[in-house]
Structure 1
Amino acid sequence: MNWYNVGKIVNTHGIRGEVRVISSTDFPEERYAVGNKLSLFRDGKSPLVLTVASHRQHKNFDLLTFEGYLTIEMVQEFRDGILKVSENQLSDLEGDEYYFHEILGCTVFGLDGQEIGVVTDILQTGANDVWTVTPTKGKAHYIPYIEDVVKEIDVDEKKIVIDVLDGLLS
């Protein structure tokens, strides 16, 4: 079974079992919904299934509590753990929506067929996502995921075609 990262627990928050999570999911409102199950992966330990009891945002973090974990002492060992969901927990997306794991690793080409590089990271800016595209030589390019630029995405072939607008790759 494949597992997909949704966040990393970086610290505790307060004394009532709340943890700080740096989110890596494109759907935090869905993943961290009350009652949702997340699996916690820690070094050398088998995954622990946790049920979300509460979720709120604070600064750049998602703050979560889990059912049955009511104190700071109970969640301290969760620090540096990775929260994941299994492939059966993924929901179907609309036609022009993709999961991060589907985009990461795709090779990006210009309309002329010239290879530009591979998507190595996705930055969430608020307005639109920006893909870090790393060529085999040289500096990374930052490609906005907008209709004017991204023309074709084939996740099965791991191929993306973009319109290289003036100044985009400089």
Structure 2
Amino acid sequence: MKHPFLEAGQIVNTHGIQGEVKIVPWCDTPEFLCQFDTFYLDGQPIRVRSMRVHKGNVLAMLEGVDSVNAAMALKGKTISIDRSGVVLPEGRHFIADLLGLEVIDAATGEKLGTVADVLTPPAHEVYVVRGEHEYMIPAVDEFLAETNVEAGYIKVRLIEGMRTDV
């Protein structure tokens, strides 16, 4: 079952003296976070009064946080978003939904393992698959035959060199 909230960033510091917080986003772009008017901290909703992108981070004024001390109390907290407020483009998935999916060789039907991590270098994502062996599989059409999050699997096309523990 998909969790209704997705971790989207971390409050790492304060900014200024009015209670603004600095958030390091855990999504594709900091602008993505700016579309939300409510975040969730420890499962509780907190309204966003204002938000802006600054040097690759998000600076936000949160309801009820109006001093440096109040902002400091939030340092280190993870912010989450409500997944129902997000529409992803066709073929895109939340990383949280990919972790733990079973990975199957499309040619042989062999179960290779599960998605243990998703690396996000600039070019494209790379799935780290761990089972009896470890594989690094670029998340591009050439290697992904089918992704079915609801059914819990990804079918892949392997080539030599994807297995990393040889």
> What TM-score results when the alignment is normalised by the length of structure 1?
0.79
TM-aligned CA deviation for residue 164 of structure 1 = 0.5
CA shift digits 1:28-67 (9 cap, x unpaired) = 422233x6211122xxxx6241315123243xx6232224
Within-5 A mapping of 1:3-22: 3-22=5-24
The residue that corresponds to 2:157 in the other structure is 163
The residue that corresponds to 1:50 in the other structure is 47
Asked if 1 retains the 8 angstrom alpha-carbon contact of 2:15 and 2:59, the reply is: no
Structure 2, unmatched stretches of 5+, are none
Asked if 2 retains the 8 angstrom alpha-carbon contact of 1:22 and 1:62, the reply is: yes
Q: Distance in 2 between matches of 1:129 and 1:167?
A: 17
Cα distance change on mapping 1:22 and 1:121 into 2, 3 Å: farther
SS at match of 1:151: strand
Cα distance change on mapping 1:81 and 1:161 into 2, 3 Å: same
| Aligned-residue RMSD, C-alpha | 2.4
TM-aligned CA deviation for residue 74 of structure 1 = 2.5
TM-aligned CA deviation for residue 158 of structure 1 = 0.8
Residue 119 (structure 1) aligned with residue 115 (structure 2) = yes
TM-aligned CA deviation for residue 16 of structure 1 = 4.6
Residue 134 (structure 1) aligned with residue 125 (structure 2) = no
Identity %: 21
The residue that corresponds to 1:73 in the other structure is 69
Q: How many residues align?
A: 160
Asked if 2 retains the 8 angstrom alpha-carbon contact of 1:11 and 1:19, the reply is: yes
Q: Distance in 2 between matches of 1:77 and 1:107?
A: 40
TM-aligned CA deviation for residue 90 of structure 1 = 2.6
The residue that corresponds to 1:99 in the other structure is 94
Q: Distance in 1 between matches of 2:17 and 2:163?
A: 48
TM-aligned CA deviation for residue 70 of structure 1 = 4.7
